[in-house]
């Protein structure tokens, strides 16, 4: 799967550049956004939109959402090259969400460098992030694959439904972050992931099914696969935050002990609070409540997670979700190579080291 990701990334970035060029000029603005009422300012929009957007994209990111879309499209009998613009939709949406997420979390690092709002300011970052929710809709409007009207409408309706649920997930995450007590359980946490991360995965699969005119049963199956894989990815991301900080993983692109410092209620934290002795659970709670943590406090929190078996518990839940994802597409008549790629991907999201 790593090879598939690497093979497709240059083409995906080129397609994104067709949507938002690295260098903005008046001709692009008029062709994409329409004739100005008075006059656009390409210089200002370059500084406030294109430069920050490409600053983030050029730092890395695996483009797995776009690639997964293309894998599905190819399996559904269509030419992936014809649908490259549509592959940009989940990728741009994802990057928009993390820009806004970093502002909301007051994050310092993203992909190994300062978060965008630390460089360009909160105003620019929020505007870029919000723009990235809407720019992909232009792809549906421009209709590069000449889709019938009913499929375009279905794509719009699907995007609106899933994006609204994405904000439910983010809302839950923010609410828990602002609460001092760890009051939520495992099911609420998994629902938050299913909305916040899972809905972006569902967009990938459902969009591929819609634009290639698959029956509802196929759309439902691939959406379930993508949602479960995305939730497993989120749990794997939380585990990687710990393992990177403990020196057990590769470069992660976030600050040491990022999730503990932000007071995040991860699956590991929820499990440890429930399974630890009262004094240890209270100590973990106190560390999470603090506005700032020392490195020693972060390491102490990790120790509580390890002693409670919470890291291994989270890994096992992620593996269970990955197995459920594979089972979701068992009934589909996919060829052996596609099945291999999709199965490998469920493993990749958990076992990756960066």
Domain count, the chain: 2
Residue 339 sits in the same domain as residue 213: yes
How far apart, in Å, do the first and last CA atoms of the chain sit? 15
CA pair distance 194, 205, nearest whole angstrom: 14
Q: Quick one: tokens of 55?
A: 């600053």
Is there a single domain that holds both residue 177 and residue 80? no
Same domain, 129 and 154: no
| Judgement on whether residues 29 and 140 belong to the same structural domain of the protein | yes
pLDDT digits (tens, 9 = 90+) for 75-125: 999 999 999 999 999 999 999 999 999 999 888 889 889 999 999 999 999
Measured CA to CA, the distance from residue 204 to residue 68 in angstroms comes to 7
271, 255: one domain? yes
* Interatomic CA distance for residues 1 and 3, integer angstroms: 5
Q: Are residues 189 and 209 in the same domain?
A: yes
Tens of pLDDT along 288-334?
Answer: 998 888 989 999 999 999 999 999 999 999 999 999 999 999 989 89
Please say whether the beta carbons of 13 and 6 come within 8 A.
no
Task: Check whether residue 108 and residue 176 sit in a common domain.
Answer: no
In this prediction, residue 243 carries a pLDDT of 84
My answer on whether 211 and 279 are in the same domain is yes
Last residue of a domain, one of 146, 181, 209: 146
Q: Could you list the residue range(s) of the whole structural domain that residue 66 is in?
A: 1-146
The helix/strand/coil state of 185 is coil
**Final residue of a domain: which of 89, 114, 146?**
146
Arithmetic mean of pLDDT, 338-346: 92
Question: Comparing C-alpha atoms, which of 312, 261, 251 is closest to residue 111?
Answer: 251
Gyration radius of the chain over CA positions: 21
Question: Domain check: are 341 and 215 in the same one?
Answer: yes
Find the CATH number of the domain harbouring 45. Answer: 1.10.600.10
Integer Cα distance of 252 and 48 in angstroms: 27
- 140, 152: one domain: no
Q: What is the mean pLDDT of the chain?
A: 91
Claim to verify: residue 236 and residue 257 sit in the same structural domain: yes
180, 286: one domain: yes
pLDDT in tens, 231-289: 999 999 899 888 877 765 445 445 678 889 888 899 999 999 999 999 999 999 999 99
Residue 139 has pLDDT above 90, yes or no: yes
Q: Which of 120, 146, 172 is the last residue of a domain?
A: 146
CB proximity list for 71: less than 8 A, separation 6 or greater = 4, 338, 341, 342
The predicted model gives 1-26 an average pLDDT of: 86
Closest by CA to 89, choosing from 40, 138, 123, 47, is 138
At residue 298, the 3 state secondary structure works out as helix
Residue 34 gets the label, from left (phi > 0), alpha (psi -120 to 50) or beta, of left
As a whole number of angstroms, the distance between CA 26 and CA 43 comes to 9
Rounded (10°) angle between helices 278-289 and 295-307? 140
């Amino acid at each position: 799967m790593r090879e598939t990701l690497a093979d497709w990334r240059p083409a995906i970035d080129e397609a994104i550049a067709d949507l938002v060029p690295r260098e903005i000029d008046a001709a692009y603005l008029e062709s994409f956004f329409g004739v100005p009422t008075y006059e656009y300012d390409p210089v200002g929009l370059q500084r406030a939109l294109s430069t920050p957007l490409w600053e983030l994209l050029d730092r890395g990111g695996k483009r797995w959402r776009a690639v997964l879309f293309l894998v599905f499209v190819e399996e559904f009998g269509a030419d992936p090259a014809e649908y490259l613009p549509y592959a940009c939709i989940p990728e741009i949406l994802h990057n928009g969400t993390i820009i806004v997420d970093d502002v909301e979390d007051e994050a310092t690092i993203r992909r190994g460098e300062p978060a965008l709002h630390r460089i360009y300011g909160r105003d620019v970052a929020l505007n870029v992030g919000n723009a990235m929710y809407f720019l992909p809709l232009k792809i549906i409007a421009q209709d590069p694959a000449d889709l019938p009207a009913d499929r375009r409408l279905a794509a719009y309706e699907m995007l609106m439904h899933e994006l609204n649920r994405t904000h439910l997930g983010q809302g839950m995450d923010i609410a828990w972050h602002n609460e001092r007590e760890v009051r939520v359980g495992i099911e609420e946490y998994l629902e938050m992931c299913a909305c916040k991360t899972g809905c972006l995965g569902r967009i990938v699969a459902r969009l591929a099914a819609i634009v290639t005119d698959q029956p509802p049963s196929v759309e439902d199956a691939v959406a379930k696969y993508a949602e479960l894989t995305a939730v497993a990815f989120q749990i794997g991301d939380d585990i990687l935050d710990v393992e990177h900080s403990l020196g057990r993983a590769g470069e992660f692109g976030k600050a040491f002990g990022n999730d503990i410092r932000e007071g995040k209620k991860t699956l590991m934290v929820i499990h440890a609070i429930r399974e630890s002795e009262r004094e240890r659970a209270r100590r973990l709670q106190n560390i999470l409540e603090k506005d700032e943590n020392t490195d020693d406090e972060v390491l102490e929190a990790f120790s509580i997670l390890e002693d409670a078996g919470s890291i291994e518990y989270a890994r096992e839940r992620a593996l269970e979700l990955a197995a459920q994802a594979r089972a979701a597409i068992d009934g589909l008549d996919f060829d052996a190579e596609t099945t291999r790629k999709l199965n490998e991907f469920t493993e990749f999201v958990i076992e990756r080291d960066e």
